[in-house]
Structure 1
Amino acid sequence: MFQILKMLLLETQVYVLSGERELFTVEVPQQLYTVEYGSNVTMECRFAVNGSLNLGLLTVVWEQKRQGQPKSKEVYTLRNGKTFPPSQHHDYIGRAALLHSELKLGRAILQITSVKITDAGSYLCLIDYQGVDYKYITLEVKASYKRINTQVMRKPGEDKVVFMCQSEGFPLAEVFWQNEKNFNLSGSANTTYTLTADGRYNVTSILMFKPNMGENYSCVFWNKELNGATSAHISTLALMSTQHSGQKSLILFIIPMGVMVAVLPSALIMFQKRKSFKNGKPKKERRRKLNPNLKDENRDDFNSQTEAVYLSTVTESRDSGSVGL
């Protein structure tokens, strides 16, 4: 890329010295852009179109160079009026575009969506249109520590409490701890960080000590480069409410279990008595209940015996010539 740039600049100098062409210049209305992580940005450089634009003669190149990186990244290239996607760096595929509708006005506007931390750096805007010139634009990306995740827990087997604050942002932030009287507790804190895939810092700070129950504490993420601070408040009441909830849950578990233990023996006794009562009933009575049409065998036997005795008595009376009633 730099070899092409040198050749184009040399070509321009020859045209100027020979008087065949006026000096072609590129201007930038803004040299520094500062944007929030995840937002969109448009950067612009301008050039003269001399009344009307001949798109087939226009070449626009946008490149990004990060400090400490040996090579630049090609963000977007328009060559002889046509987009040249093969040269675009994969970090910008689908995110970087040139607003073609603005070219006829002499405005080469680069738009980058969903800005990442790695998008920060110096951007080259080179334009070749009846002459060659370029300018540099700086893009700064900030990621405020907006959301702070907090956690409070009691250290097992000790009377100390562990407070934790965690957040992500950029640049690297310092973390300070203080109580509600603004007394600095940072000396007892342990703060560590890691880098995320998109270049932000994942900062975690842990403070472990014996607090005054019911007192409020704060962790403050201080971003020196952005001159901004974000804080979160933690109260030991949260720990007390957690313990109370645990005790309440235990009570709600114990009470039903106690009721079941008390009621179960009584239910078993009633069941055994009912079973014994059913087993003690005569079989015939149970059979009669099951079949109401079933005759009583004892009653039939009694009637048969009575009839036999009566017939025997009548016979004997006839033989003796009298009947006794």
Structure 2
Amino acid sequence: MFQILSMLLLETQLYVVSALFTVEVPQQLYVVECGSNVTMECRFPVNGSLNLQLLTVIWEQKRQGQSKSKEVYTLRNGKAFPPSQHRNYTGRAALLHSELKQGRAILQITSVKITDAGSYLCLIDYQGVDYKYITLEVKASYKRINTQVMRKPAEDKFVFTCQSEGFPLAEVFWQNEKNFNLSGSVNTTYTVTTDGLYNVTSILTFKPNVSENYSCVFWNKELNEETSARISTLALMSTQYSGQKSLILFVIPMCVMVAVLPSALIIFHKRKSFKNGQPKKDRKRKLNPNLKDENRDDFNSQTEALYLSTVTASRESGSVGL
């Protein structure tokens, strides 16, 4: 409950003066993305120059379903009052003091969390008392979806996993390229983080068609927002057949080596035998210079016979001519 408000209203009891002192808000609803910064403003009449020593500004936050409010920031008699600030806003919530002279009480909250959403009270006590409420809504889209593909051992099935964080709680369903919902075994669970986000994990187990791609879709009904992540079949193929490819890459070179090795050995032995026989002939010629090469004798005898036959034929032709 806003105890400070009740106390201050009871203390003043100057309804005529309070009626003349009015707090206004230029914007009643703020919608921001989780992790961003927000500035919420309420305005009050200064009536000339501002006397900070007479000014009290109180910002409080109350979430739906909670009975107690949290003090976000307090300026009492022109000075900040940190002891009353709730620990959830320590180092994140501040009042822009430079704007107070213009009658603007601007509350700035950095790194907005889901737990910051709720109703905010802006109470001003300065020559009168008045307050207004401002609503802050925080949304967190399921932008980053982490995917994983695994193959179940000894089974012809695959396990697809999609995980993401967001707010509010999203529904998850699986589709193929034709936007048909998959009928495999789906298990979707969630937990709540310390920042109030929903950590949603969806697991699909089924026998896929490797010619298609698949998607997990996160549907945020309250935000009317849909985000998805695609799982490529190339990852499936590489996971499924990587072992077979490795085996083929090992077997083919081995078969080539087995086929080529005997031929290489035969050629090697023939060359070695030829080289070993050649020096023996050379050594025989050196030891016996008179030894004739049989091939050379055959060649000389054949040449001599051919020469005699040629001479004889020439003589016969000459005698006929005479």
Class of the TM-score when normalised by the shorter of the 2 chains: 0.7 to 0.9
* 1:213 pairs with 2:233: no
Q: Residues 50 and 249 (structure 1 numbering): CA distance in 2 closer, same or farther, change over 3 Å? A: farther
Alignment of 1:12-23 (within 5 A): 12-14=12-14, 16=16, 23=20
The whole-number CA distance in structure 1 between the counterparts of 2:220 and 2:183 is: 16
Segments of structure 1 that go 5 or more residues without pairing to the other structure are 259-325
Segments of structure 2 that go 5 or more residues without pairing to the other structure are 256-322
**1:183 CA drift (Å):** 1.0
**1:8 CA drift (Å):** 2.3
Instruction: Choose the corresponding residue for 1:225, options 222, 225, 249.
Output: 222
Q: Residues 178 and 13 (structure 1 numbering): CA distance in 2 closer, same or farther, change over 3 Å? A: same
Q: Residues 15 and 153 (structure 1 numbering): CA distance in 2 closer, same or farther, change over 3 Å? A: closer
The whole-number CA distance in structure 1 between the counterparts of 2:12 and 2:108 is: 28
The whole-number CA distance in structure 2 between the counterparts of 1:186 and 1:199 is: 32
Task: Name the residue aligned to 1:118.
Answer: 115
Task: Name the residue aligned to 2:81.
Answer: 84
Q: Residues 108 and 186 (structure 1 numbering): CA distance in 2 closer, same or farther, change over 3 Å? A: farther
* 1:36 pairs with 2:33: yes
Q: Residues 21 and 200 (structure 1 numbering): CA distance in 2 closer, same or farther, change over 3 Å? A: closer
Task: Name the residue aligned to 1:101.
Answer: 98
* 1:55 pairs with 2:52: yes
TM-score with structure 1 setting the length: 0.74
Quick one: which amino acid aligns to residue 6 of structure 2?
Answer: K
User: What SS is found at the alignment partner of 2:168?
Assistant: coil
The whole-number CA distance in structure 2 between the counterparts of 1:256 and 1:96 is: 69
User: What SS is found at the alignment partner of 2:14?
Assistant: helix
Q: Residues 147 and 186 (structure 1 numbering): CA distance in 2 closer, same or farther, change over 3 Å? A: farther
**1:14 CA drift (Å):** 2.4
Point out the more displaced range, 33-42 or 212-221.
212-221
Quick one: which amino acid aligns to residue 30 of structure 1?
Answer: Q
**1:9 CA drift (Å):** 2.0
Alignment of 1:288-299 (within 5 A): none
**Between the two proteins, what is the percent identity of the paired residues?**
87
Q: Residues 208 and 22 (structure 1 numbering): CA distance in 2 closer, same or farther, change over 3 Å? A: closer
Task: Name the residue aligned to 1:139.
Answer: 136
The whole-number CA distance in structure 2 between the counterparts of 1:70 and 1:22 is: 29
Q: Residues 52 and 210 (structure 1 numbering): CA distance in 2 closer, same or farther, change over 3 Å? A: same
The whole-number CA distance in structure 2 between the counterparts of 1:56 and 1:257 is: 92
Instruction: Choose the corresponding residue for 1:24, options 21, 28, 31.
Output: 21
Contact 1:67/1:121 (<8 A) preserved = yes
**1:12 CA drift (Å):** 4.2
Task: Name the residue aligned to 1:301.
Answer: none
Q: Residues 186 and 96 (structure 1 numbering): CA distance in 2 closer, same or farther, change over 3 Å? A: farther
The whole-number CA distance in structure 2 between the counterparts of 1:222 and 1:48 is: 46
**1:11 CA drift (Å):** 4.4
Task: Name the residue aligned to 1:69.
Answer: 66
The whole-number CA distance in structure 1 between the counterparts of 2:253 and 2:50 is: 85
